[in-house]
Amino acid sequence: MFCFQCEQAVGGKGCTKVGACGKSATTAGKQDELTAALVDLALAVGDKTPEVSTDSLVMRGLFATVTNVNFDDSRLDELLAQVRAETRRLGGGQDFDAAGLWQGDADIVSLRSTLLFGLRGMAAYAWHAFVLGKTDAAVTAWLYKGLREMAAEHTVAEWLGLLMEFGLVNLKCMELLDGANTGAFGHPVPTKVSTVIEPGPFIIISGHDLLDLKELLEQTEGRGVNVYTHGEMLPAHAYPGLKKYSNLKGNFGTAWQNQQKEFDAVPGAVVFNTNCLMPPKPSYADRVFTSAVVAYPGLVHLPATDGRIDYTPAIEKALALGGYQESCELTGINGGKELTTGFGRDAVMGVAGAVIDAVKSGAVKHFLLVGGCDGARPGRNYYTELVEKSPADTVILTLACGKYRFNDLDLGTVGGLPRLLDIGQCNDAYSAIKIALALADAFECGVNDLPLSLVLSWYEQKAVCILLTLLALGIKNIRIGPTLPAFISPNVLGVLVEQFGLTPVGTPEADLAAILAK
Ligand code: SF4
Ligand code: SF3
């Protein structure tokens, strides 16, 4: 096997025997085959407009190869058979060799892989919008185009051009998902989220798919089963269309990489509807359920009819386990008990006047966007320390699961605003971009001239597509860590540093000093 798509790539180079994520060599091989089959399908589609069922297949096929999503070979076989059948129906063949994905000149492999991983991330976002009935022709068309490029020869300059084109398409995709989520559930409103687990049966839901959560809330309502969010589901509490359910209680645990510890012998059921699923420990494997694109051998996969998930097995498990006897007080990783979320673009722009006044009066000197994916590496304490050490006249904007490094800290207020503003999930990077553009507008300058610095953490392929969007928008001097992607070759890194000022994170003290001197 060879896989180097996430931040856990062994030795900072790649996983070759077994994935650090728990993916087997067989599964990795099947994911490569599936990717190659998707390239063949895209070639067979050519410039025709495919059917919606083909679009859905391409999104699910790409999504199934994202880190910590699908570990189940039989489901990958099913997808592979569907993709090949559709390719044959369109008159195509099995031409693209999976081995070709990771071979060739180091810089070309680097650039081509970056595009492929970005495409996988975007497919996940496109899928979430698709299940809410929203598609964008340019986004869907680019999924096919991007796949076709895997089989094409390009110069370094041409690959870089494609990455920038893709970054702008991914912005459209995040806009599409923003519209789908806010259209279905309203605009997020600032909301305090409890970390106390009440007595009685409960289900924990982890992932990014808000529609799946809504269906779980409907199916558990009146059944005596409470629902708690986990990981990237936390921002769901802020949506009016979801917070109205009285059985949506609070948030359980922290970011994905702590799940094997936090779910140990948990007396409730756990449902994963997207990444990040880790191989479950025996102490809780019997109570973990997967849905939609997520799958793991031996775990019950929730059945679905016309996309509507039947949560009965999880509900029955939660009722049988019975939950905690007494209230269970959990905390964040720093011991804090209160989480606040819901500072999406609508909420922040609603107080734009106060934000602008706070900057003009000098109460707020700098905005730090500290966000992205969390992970297991010890160096990720950097993000906690950076936020803890940032001065009282800074506002911290955050999003995605990296927020769990500091979202239980009490950072107080500045200029009448909370100092820590959780914008939402990783895809709400769209909201962050809108907020930055609105600030630039208000101060009549470019985003790069604002007192705003981006310090990002990355783990998997959704972060790759978001980074490409930020670069395509011309946003410069982004700091990225905790380590650089294994798939970025030294020469490609050189280009990113030179053209975009992309910088690896250093120490919290040195980085803060440099940022605040801006
Ligand atoms: Fe390794 Fe990450 Fe690939 Fe898993 S997804 S095999 S940890 S590089
Ligand atoms: Fe987290 Fe997996 Fe990336 Fe959506 S849940 S941000 S890592």
Taking the C-alpha atoms of residue 23 and residue 361, their distance in angstroms, rounded to an integer, is: 53
Residue 426 known to bind ligand: yes
pLDDT-based confidence at residue 378 (cuts at 50, 70, 90):
confident
Residue type, 79: L
Q: Which ligand is nearest to the CA of 124?
A: 2
pLDDT tens for each residue of 398-421: 999 999 999 999 999 998 899 999
The whole-number average pLDDT for the span 160-185 is 98
Q: What are phi and psi of 479, to 5 degrees?
A: -95, 140
4 part of a folded domain: no
pLDDT of residue 379: 87
pLDDT tens for each residue of 267-308: 999 999 999 999 999 999 999 999 999 999 999 999 999 889
Mean pLDDT of the chain: 97
What is the pairing mode between strands 479-481 and 452-457? parallel
pLDDT tens for each residue of 430-482: 999 999 999 999 999 999 999 999 999 999 999 999 999 999 999 999 999 99
Does 407 share its domain with 478? yes
The whole-number average pLDDT for the span 179-207 is 98
Does 208 share its domain with 277? yes
- Which ligand 1 atom is the nearest neighbour of the CA of 20? 7
Residue 230 known to bind ligand: no
What is the CATH classification number for the domain harbouring 233?
3.40.50.2030
- Which ligand 1 atom is the nearest neighbour of the CA of 19? 6
What is the CATH classification number for the domain harbouring 14?
1.20.1270.20
Q: Is the pLDDT of residue 179 over 80?
A: yes
336 part of a folded domain: no
pLDDT of residue 386: 98
422 part of a folded domain: yes
20 part of a folded domain: yes
Q: Is the pLDDT of residue 512 over 90?
A: yes
The whole-number average pLDDT for the span 34-49 is 97
Domain boundary among 144, 166, 184: 184
Domain boundary among 131, 160, 184: 184
What residues contact 402, with CB distance under 8 A and at least 6 apart? 255, 370, 371, 372, 373, 374, 380, 383, 456, 457
Does 348 share its domain with 206? no
Q: What is the dihedral of CA 229, 234, 239, 245, to 10 degrees?
A: 20
Domain boundary among 184, 209, 235: 184
Residue 433 CA, distance from chain mean position: 16
pLDDT-based confidence at residue 17 (cuts at 50, 70, 90):
very high
440 part of a folded domain: yes
Ligand 1 mean position, distance from CA 70 (Å)? 12
pLDDT tens for each residue of 66-98: 999 999 999 999 999 999 999 999 999 999 999
Residue 445 known to bind ligand: no
The percent of residues above 90 in pLDDT, for the chain, comes to 98
State the DSSP H helix or E strand holding residue 300, giving kind and residue range, or none if neither: strand 300-301
State the DSSP H helix or E strand holding residue 472, giving kind and residue range, or none if neither: helix 461-472
The preferred substitution site among 4, 8, 18 for testing ligand 1, maximizing ligand atoms within 8 Å of CB, is: 8
What is the pairing mode between strands 417-418 and 413-414? antiparallel
pLDDT-based confidence at residue 32 (cuts at 50, 70, 90):
very high
Ligand 1 mean position, distance from CA 486 (Å)? 11
The whole-number average pLDDT for the span 309-326 is 98
Ligand 2 mean position, distance from CA 452 (Å)? 23
Hunting for tokens 């769209």 — which residue is that? 430
Q: What are phi and psi of 455, to 5 degrees?
A: -125, 105
Does 479 share its domain with 497? yes
pLDDT of residue 307: 82
Ligand 2 mean position, distance from CA 330 (Å)? 21
ipTM of the complex: 0.97
DSSP 8-state symbol, 200: B
The percent of residues above 70 in pLDDT, for the chain, comes to 100
Ligand 1 mean position, distance from CA 204 (Å)? 26
Q: What residues make up the domain containing 98? A: 10-184
Ligand 2 mean position, distance from CA 276 (Å)? 6
Does 362 share its domain with 314? no
Does 317 share its domain with 436? no
pLDDT tens for each residue of 231-254: 999 999 999 999 999 999 999 999
The total domain count for the chain is 3
Ligand 1 mean position, distance from CA 459 (Å)? 10
Does 77 share its domain with 116? yes
pLDDT-based confidence at residue 48 (cuts at 50, 70, 90):
very high
pLDDT-based confidence at residue 8 (cuts at 50, 70, 90):
very high
- Which ligand 1 atom is the nearest neighbour of the CA of 10? 1
The whole-number average pLDDT for the span 6-29 is 98
Nearest CA to ligand 1 atom 3: 3
User: Which 3 state secondary structure label does DSSP give 71?
Assistant: coil
Q: List all residues whose CB is within 6 A of at least one atom of ligand 2.
A: 208, 231-232, 256, 275-276, 373, 400-401, 425-426, 459-460, 462-463
Does 346 share its domain with 322? no
Does 310 share its domain with 410? no
261 part of a folded domain: yes
pLDDT of residue 518: 74
Nearest CA to ligand 1 atom 2: 6
Does 87 share its domain with 140? yes
Does 226 share its domain with 131? no
∠ CA 482-487-493, nearest 5°, is 75
pLDDT of residue 515: 96
pTM comes to 0.98
The preferred substitution site among 4, 15, 278 for testing ligand 1, maximizing ligand atoms within 8 Å of CB, is: 15
Does 26 share its domain with 165? yes
- Which ligand 2 atom is the nearest neighbour of the CA of 274? 5
196 part of a folded domain: yes
334 part of a folded domain: no
Yes or no: say if 256 and 201 are a contact pair by the CB < 8 Å rule. no
Q: Is the pLDDT of residue 353 over 80?
A: yes
Q: Is the pLDDT of residue 339 over 90?
A: yes
